[in-house]
Structure 1
Amino acid sequence: MAVDELQAIIQRCQILEEADFKGEDYDLFQVAGQKCLEDGYAAQLLEVIQNVKNRVVIKNMGWNLISPLVRCILAYKQEDEKRELYLKILDQLVQLCNPKELFLGLLEQIEQTSGEKVCQTIMLLLQPLQTVLLKLQNKKAYSVGLSLAMIMDQLTPLPVPYTKQQIQEDKLGLCQCCNAVVDFAKPFVNEVVKNMEKSSEYNDTELKEELLKFCMKSLKYPLLTAQLEQLEGIEEHPFRHFAAEIVVSAFGMKLFLHHKRRRSYWENQEFEDVEQKNSADSLACLSYLMFVQHFGINCLPVVFSSSYLLQCNMTHIEINVLYICKVFVFPSHLQDLFESCLLRVEDNGLLHQYLEFREFINVPQDLVKVMTLCPIEHLRKKSLSILQLFIDKFEAEGKYTLFRCLLKTSNHAGVEGYIIKNIKDQIHLSLTVTHDNVWFTGHHLISLLDLVLLLPEGAETDLLQYSDRIMASLNLLRYLVIKDCESDNQTGVWTAIAKIEKNFLKPLHVGLNMSKAHYEAEIKNKKENRREADSSNTICSLTVSGEKMPAMTTEMQLQVLHSALFTFDLIESVLARVEELIEVKVKAVMDGNI
């Protein structure tokens, strides 16, 4: 019987010194002990382990039973009596075995787990592992760090529950496991905090560094992608609880707020060289937790101005908005952070000098990429609203500089049209007595209009592709001609009217004539082909604005072509109105002079 074999091995080893135990003894002990577990002799095995006479043998060899014991425990449900018996055996091994050997045995089990059993295994072994680590004297910091790193490495491949239903179901146990890991780390965090409170010159930094690494990893996963809004029907949101504990731990170990070289205000002297490469996402998440979810916000010194906080956060925002551009699956945490920081700043409160910082130029350009390329509608809309908020926060010269930059870099007619509408709004404000400024009148405005009132490729510009920009430009010019009398010429538009006619209005006339003739010929050709084919269901291809359209019937193609002609007619009507207004005002001035 397996129990007899085990007893025989133990009795033989009882008469030996610890140093005389051989590898063969360990192997025989493990095989016999495993057989006891598998053959249903767990109760007898527990008696053997609890026997005082066997303490020395169990101390040195008992850790070999961890692997088969874990398999047995995981095979039974929580309420099963056999499982309770196995747990008692595990508890006895934790109390009696050599901590160093047991630590390696427990860690090996965590390392070897995979798939759906990852969280089950980790939660099973966290308490035993914590007990063993608390017993360790030498290299405890290293062992704690190794344990937390291995646990997080095992959890990281698991998908983070995002919807309310996924969080409630918690199929893989990730929500529960994350909070269990925080509880596992608490005694060690408390030890660091207590020692720091005792002495301001606390120099045992190794354990603190390991725990801060864990905090940083937790911020990147799962918190950077987790749903952290309060959900109705969930009394205690598991990830919100986890986030709060991580922030408390980080601040408890003095992860200070400090601004350095405009890169970040998160700095800890001992942490300065720890995983700097991978810390950007974690620090961005920490900012999000503070400024959006308000975890640990009371740790923020009130002396920091809103513009300073925005400046500090721009590095995090730049990195992660760019990530949205490339991947399109990122949740809007960093968009929310950007919005929150902007809302703290007064309108017209940012000086134009902020645009000398790389991040303040790169972020709006990246927002444009999200607006134009991202397939996720709510991210596109959110990016547009944030871009407008960003524009509103700058004073006049800042807006002016930003408009010039976006007109040159956006490469999208819709965005350019949107910027031109903003320019029109700023000109309107500038022409009122209370908002008089030089940046949207006079020679500064004329310089900006040189970028606005032109066709990118002259008369050969694809007018359909650039229709949004062209309509916005015409509406702006119409506004200027109506609002600004030639005798006042506040905007300077009448000084530049000849150049505008040459570079914009006349090429637009030529382009419209060519485009309309081309599309009318296409319509005529399609109609003739339809009659020849005697069917409106023929599938054909069509190229519009340089892009090949999906396969469609001739009838569908004709609808597209007529729609293009309608757009040209609309542009032509506004163009005619602008030219009429210019002619009337010029004639009035000439008549007045006569």
Structure 2
Amino acid sequence: MAVDELQAIIQRCQILEESDFRGEDFNLFQVAGQKCLEDGYAAQLLEVIQNEKNKVIIKNMGWNLISPLVRCILAYKQEDDKRDDKREHCLKILDQLVQLCNPKELFLGLLEQIEQTSGEKVCPTVMLLLQPLQTVLLKLQNKKAYSVGLSLAMIMNQLTPLPVPYTKQQIQEDKLGLCQCCNAVVDFAKPFVNEVVKNMEKSSEYNDMELKEELLKFCMKSLKYPLLTAQLEQLEGIEEHPFRHFATEIIDILQDIRELMPLVFLHHKGKRSYWENQEFEDIERKNSADSLACLSYLMFVQHFGINCFPMVFSPSYLLQCNMTHIEVLVVVFCLFASFFSHPQDLFENCLLRMEDNSLLHQYLEFRDFINVPQDLVKVMTLCPIEHLRKKSLNMLQLFIDKFDAEGKYTLFRCLLKTSNHAGVEGYIIQKIKDQIHLSLTKAHDNVWFTRHHLISLLDLVLFLPEGAETDLLQNSDRIMASLNLLRYLVIKDCESDNQTGVWTTLAKIEKNFLKPLHVGLNMSKAHYELCSYSEPLETENCVLARVEELIEVKVKAAMDENI
């Protein structure tokens, strides 16, 4: 019988000194204890552990029972009510082991159980062992900060492969227990946060700084998972949203350890790397960028911790701070077809703080101010999700509106050169036309959309990429926008005024754009006249003819005036 075997081992060990315990004794104790648990004798095992005479034995050998004990508790949890008593006995055994065993050995035993779990058992195992692990860590005297950090890292590493619930139903059901587990981990960390806060008020001893660093790592990991991809909008019917609560707790920890504001403004600061391996360093940098982007989204869009944020920064500076994060979020979400609009929401939040035409063109010297609109163009042209494409277009327009005239001019040139998409190029050409219209109708002259600056821009607009052999169908959006722009210039700007400078460069436009377009249309007409594509070609032909007619009329009128 298992209990008899255990009693025999206990009696033999009771007469031994602690230093005389052998490896064989540990193994026999573990096997007998495990058999007691598996055969349903948890109550008898509990009596053995509670016996004061066995205190030294349990202190040294008890941690070996953690593995079979965890298996039994989790197994009993899934059985019927008849086994509740056995489960309660097992929980009491676990509590006794926490009180009696060597903290260092028990810590390793508990951590080993968390490390070995996987799949559906991750959250139940973590939930079961968090309280015992916390108690053991609070008992540790040496390497406490390291042990806390190791525990938090192990827990988060085990949780990370689990899918994050997204829909209201998934969050309410919480099948794998992730929502509950995340908030339990925060409670697990609170005593150590309080310890750091208390010691920071007294001094800045090295050991305390170590513990603070471990808590900071935990917060950064939590920002990347699960918060980066979590559904954080308030959901009807859910009184306390688990991920919103978790986000609040993480922000509070960062605020308590005085790291919230330094992280928000970390965008330009370099951080010393601890990795000699370049691959590991790149991974750490990527993870850090994702976490900081999530933090920025939480604060500026979801308003977590915003009451701690100083209201002394200019809107343009806040935009500059967030551009790196917006770029990261675009890559994380939009380019991988996520349904979230985190980057657009953060971008919109920053832009709406600003007045139109207030953003200086010098900001385009920062790499992110060029990368973000280019990324938005990629979303507009590549993302399969319609509402993200539309929102990206709206954000691009809003971004353009905020720049001064030179900034708009520079941005237009950049996007015309890099978008490689006729629809986007047609859209940009329409925006150029709008700026020219403002320049011609305002009392003051805008040098960036008139005369030589405009002529330089028109060189990018009024030309065919491959001359007469350009695919007119593929480039129809761009060609139609270009023809409409040229038509507008010819109508609005008299040759005698020549405010835009278009009349000065008309010969060049005819050579590089109108004549090749004529040839291309004639070459394509016969080929496509029986195809469904003939209609857009006819439209282009009509617009081209109208533009040429207008030019001819204007030139003739000017000549008559001179006579």
Give the TM-score, by structure 2 length: 0.94
Q: Is the 8 A contact 1:325 1:373 kept in 2?
A: no
Partners of 1:134 and 1:275 lie apart in 2 by: 29
Q: 1:405 to 1:269 in 2, by over 3 A?
A: closer
Q: Aligned to 1:172, what secondary structure does the other structure show?
A: coil
Corresponding residue to 1:101 among 105, 112, 115: 105
Residue 131 of structure 1, CA deviation:
0.6
Residue 318 of structure 1, CA deviation:
2.2
Query: 1:264: which partner in 2?
Result: 267
Corresponding residue to 1:578 among 523, 539, 547: 547
- Could you tell me which amino acid in structure 1 is paired with residue 137 of structure 2? L
Residue pairs, 1:427-466, within 5 angstroms: 427-434=436-443, 436-466=445-475
Q: Aligned to 2:240, what secondary structure does the other structure show?
A: coil
Q: Is the 8 A contact 1:258 1:267 kept in 2?
A: no
Q: Note if 1:493 corresponds to 2:502.
A: yes
Q: 1:277 to 1:254 in 2, by over 3 A?
A: same
Deviations 1:244-296 (A, max 9, x none): 10111012111153599x96168999999995553111111111110111111
Query: 2:296: which partner in 1?
Result: 287
Q: Is the 8 A contact 1:212 1:271 kept in 2?
A: no
Q: Note if 1:163 corresponds to 2:167.
A: yes
Q: Note if 1:7 corresponds to 2:16.
A: no
Q: Is the 8 A contact 2:40 2:86 kept in 1?
A: no
Corresponding residue to 1:421 among 421, 430, 435: 430
Q: Note if 1:220 corresponds to 2:224.
A: yes
Residue pairs, 1:129-278, within 5 angstroms: 129-199=133-203, 204-258=208-262, 264=267, 275-276=284-285, 278=287
Q: Is the 8 A contact 1:324 1:370 kept in 2?
A: no
Deviations 1:63-98 (A, max 9, x none): 111111111110123763322221111111111111
Give the TM-score, by structure 1 length: 0.89
- Could you tell me which amino acid in structure 2 is paired with residue 36 of structure 1? C
Q: Is the 8 A contact 1:223 1:285 kept in 2?
A: yes
Corresponding residue to 1:110 among 105, 109, 114: 114
Query: 2:408: which partner in 1?
Result: 399
- Could you tell me which amino acid in structure 1 is paired with residue 300 of structure 2? F
Query: 2:278: which partner in 1?
Result: none
Q: 1:7 to 1:201 in 2, by over 3 A?
A: closer
Deviates more, 1:262-271 or 1:1-10: 262-271
Q: 1:259 to 1:33 in 2, by over 3 A?
A: closer
Deviations 1:140-170 (A, max 9, x none): 1111011011101101111111111111111
Partners of 2:550 and 2:252 lie apart in 1 by: 66
Query: Percent of aligned positions with the same letter in both sequences?
Result: 84
Deviations 1:334-376 (A, max 9, x none): 2322221122222111111111111111111121111111222
Query: 2:482: which partner in 1?
Result: 473
Q: Which runs of 5+ in 1 are unaligned?
A: 524-560
Q: 1:357 to 1:591 in 2, by over 3 A?
A: same
Q: Aligned to 1:304, what secondary structure does the other structure show?
A: coil
Query: 1:331: which partner in 2?
Result: 340
- Could you tell me which amino acid in structure 2 is paired with residue 410 of structure 1? S
Partners of 1:245 and 1:275 lie apart in 2 by: 24
Partners of 1:392 and 1:258 lie apart in 2 by: 31
Q: Note if 1:362 corresponds to 2:371.
A: yes
Query: 1:533: which partner in 2?
Result: none
Residue pairs, 1:7-26, within 5 angstroms: 7-26=7-26
Corresponding residue to 2:536 among 567, 574, 577: 567
Partners of 1:194 and 1:576 lie apart in 2 by: 80
Query: 1:505: which partner in 2?
Result: 514
Query: 1:552: which partner in 2?
Result: none
Residue 433 of structure 1, CA deviation:
2.2
Partners of 2:254 and 2:444 lie apart in 1 by: 47
Partners of 2:341 and 2:198 lie apart in 1 by: 37
Residue 221 of structure 1, CA deviation:
0.7
Q: Note if 1:121 corresponds to 2:125.
A: yes
RMSD: 2.2
- Could you tell me which amino acid in structure 1 is paired with residue 27 of structure 2? D
Residue 323 of structure 1, CA deviation:
4.2
Query: 1:75: which partner in 2?
Result: 75
Q: Note if 1:64 corresponds to 2:68.
A: no
Partners of 1:585 and 1:39 lie apart in 2 by: 102
Q: Aligned to 1:264, what secondary structure does the other structure show?
A: coil
Residue 468 of structure 1, CA deviation:
0.1
Partners of 2:433 and 2:440 lie apart in 1 by: 11
Q: Aligned to 2:261, what secondary structure does the other structure show?
A: strand
- Could you tell me which amino acid in structure 2 is paired with residue 439 of structure 1? W
Partners of 2:46 and 2:172 lie apart in 1 by: 38
Residue 225 of structure 1, CA deviation:
0.8
Q: Aligned to 2:295, what secondary structure does the other structure show?
A: helix
- Could you tell me which amino acid in structure 1 is paired with residue 537 of structure 2? F
Q: Aligned to 2:496, what secondary structure does the other structure show?
A: coil
Q: 1:279 to 1:330 in 2, by over 3 A?
A: farther
Residue 448 of structure 1, CA deviation:
0.5
Partners of 1:275 and 1:28 lie apart in 2 by: 45
Corresponding residue to 1:372 among 381, 388, 392: 381
Residue 301 of structure 1, CA deviation:
1.9
Query: 1:29: which partner in 2?
Result: 29
Partners of 1:271 and 1:435 lie apart in 2 by: 57
Partners of 2:313 and 2:95 lie apart in 1 by: 51
Query: 1:553: which partner in 2?
Result: none
Residue 202 of structure 1, CA deviation:
7.2
Q: Is the 8 A contact 2:145 2:207 kept in 1?
A: no
Partners of 2:254 and 2:471 lie apart in 1 by: 56
Q: Is the 8 A contact 2:405 2:448 kept in 1?
A: yes
